[in-house]
Amino acid sequence: MVTIRPFEPDDVDDAGRLLATRHRAQRASQPLLSPRYEDPAVARSVVADALAVDGASGAVAVANGAVHGFLLGAPKGSVWGPNMWVESAGQAAEDPEVMRDLSGLAAARWVDDGRTAHYVLTPAHDRELLDAWSRLGFGQQQAHGVRAVPTERPTPPPAVTIRRADAADVEDLARLDLSLPEHQALSPVFSAGVVPTYEESLADWKRDLDDPAYANFVAEVEGQVIGSAVGASLEKSSSHVGPARPDNAGILGFAAVLPEARGRGAGRALGEAVGWWAAESGFDSVVTDWRVTNLLSSRTWPRLGYATTFVRMHRLIGY
C-alpha cells in the first residue's frame, strides 16, 4: 500500500536517487542533456536546492518503508500570478500514476495558501507522466528544446541578409523588442507578459548593444531591418537550470520578425545564424524555448532540429 505524506528534509537522499534514475532514462533518448544528473549525489544537491527555496513544499509516496516518488514546488515572482512552480528537479516517480496522488496532497496546501497558479516542468520523454499531469487538469504552456550545433554554415533565403547588429540598428532593435510580446498577447497565445515601452527598450539597447556576452543579429530585406535574434551562453539563462541545462550550451534567447515581413524565411535564418554562432563559439549544443500556442515559433524551432526536452504544464485553479 502506498502512503502519501508531506515532503520532509530527510527525504532528499531518496528524492535524489529517484531523480537520477529519471534523468538516466531521459538521456537514453535525449543524450544532449547533461550526464551529471545521473549521479545520485549531484541529483540530491539540486533537490536540496529546490527544498531550500523560501516557501518550498511537496509530497512523497512511501511503500514498504521506501520512497517511490516525490513532488516538490516553490513560489516564484508575482508576474506568474499566485503561483507554485515545480522545476526540472522537482519530481520523479517509479510509477507515473502516483504523481496524481502526490499532487493531490501537495496542491491542497498550495491552494490553502492562496497559490492557485501551478506550473510543472515535466520531462518530455515520459508520455505516461505527461498524461498523468493532463488528467490532473494541466495543459501544455511552454516547451524547452535542444539541438546539436550545426556543422555547416547556413545560407539565408534569397533577398534576406543576416548580419551582426550595430549601433545604427538600435531603433529597429527596440521596435522588434516589442514585436514578440505583442504577438504573444494575441490569440491563441494570450500571454499576460508585460510589453515594455519603446523608450524603455531603446534605452536598454543603447546600454547593452556592445555587451560581449551577447551575439545580436538582424535580418534585412532590401536594406530594411525586419527581424532580430540574440544568442548567448546558456549560463545567462535563469529558465534552463538543473537537469534541464545541457553542459557547454548556447541559447537562442530571442528572435522576432516584424508582422508585415513574416513568411519570407527570416525567422528561420536568424535561428540558423545563432546556431552557427554557437558552433563557432565552441558550444556543443543550443537550447531555446517557446510557447506551444505560438503558431510561429512552435513550428519553426522544431523544424530547425530542436527536440523537446521538457514541457511546462500549467493549471489555474478555480475556473
> What tens digit of pLDDT does each residue of 83-111 get?
999 999 999 999 999 999 999 999 999 99
Mean pLDDT, residues 22-26 = 98
Higher pLDDT, 145 or 239: 145
Mean pLDDT, residues 297-311 = 97
Q: Does residue 252 sit in the same domain as residue 199?
A: yes
pLDDT of 300 over the 90 cut:
yes
Q: Does residue 68 sit in the same domain as residue 195?
A: no
Q: Does residue 42 sit in the same domain as residue 93?
A: yes
318 domain-assigned: no
Q: Does residue 69 sit in the same domain as residue 13?
A: yes
Q: Does residue 124 sit in the same domain as residue 237?
A: no
Q: Does residue 297 sit in the same domain as residue 231?
A: yes
174 domain-assigned: yes
Residue 149's pLDDT band (cuts 50, 70, 90): very high
- Decide: pTM greater than 0.85: yes
- Last residue of a domain, which of 89, 107, 137? 137
If you average pLDDT over every residue of the chain, what do you get? 97
Count the residues in the chain: 319
Q: Does residue 192 sit in the same domain as residue 58?
A: no
Residue 193's pLDDT band (cuts 50, 70, 90): confident
CA angle 294, 300, 302 (to 5 degrees): 100
Mean pLDDT, residues 148-167 = 96
Q: Does residue 173 sit in the same domain as residue 133?
A: no
198 domain-assigned: yes
Q: Does residue 58 sit in the same domain as residue 199?
A: no
Structural domain harbouring 206:
148-308
54 domain-assigned: yes
User: From the CB of residue 91, how many other CB atoms can be counted at a distance below 10 Å?
Assistant: 29
313 domain-assigned: no
- Last residue of a domain, which of 137, 167, 191? 137
Q: Does residue 9 sit in the same domain as residue 109?
A: yes
User: What CATH code is carried by the domain that includes residue 28?
Assistant: 3.40.630.30
Give the pLDDT of residue 93: 98
pLDDT of 218 over the 80 cut:
yes
Q: Does residue 108 sit in the same domain as residue 228?
A: no
Mean pLDDT, residues 294-305 = 97
316 domain-assigned: no
Give the pLDDT of residue 318: 87
- Last residue of a domain, which of 137, 166, 193? 137
Contacts of 226 (CB under 8 A, 6+ apart): 219, 220, 257, 258, 261, 264, 266
314 domain-assigned: no
Domain count for the chain, please give it: 2
pLDDT of 319 over the 80 cut:
no
Give the pLDDT of residue 1: 87
Q: Does residue 246 sit in the same domain as residue 295?
A: yes
97 domain-assigned: yes
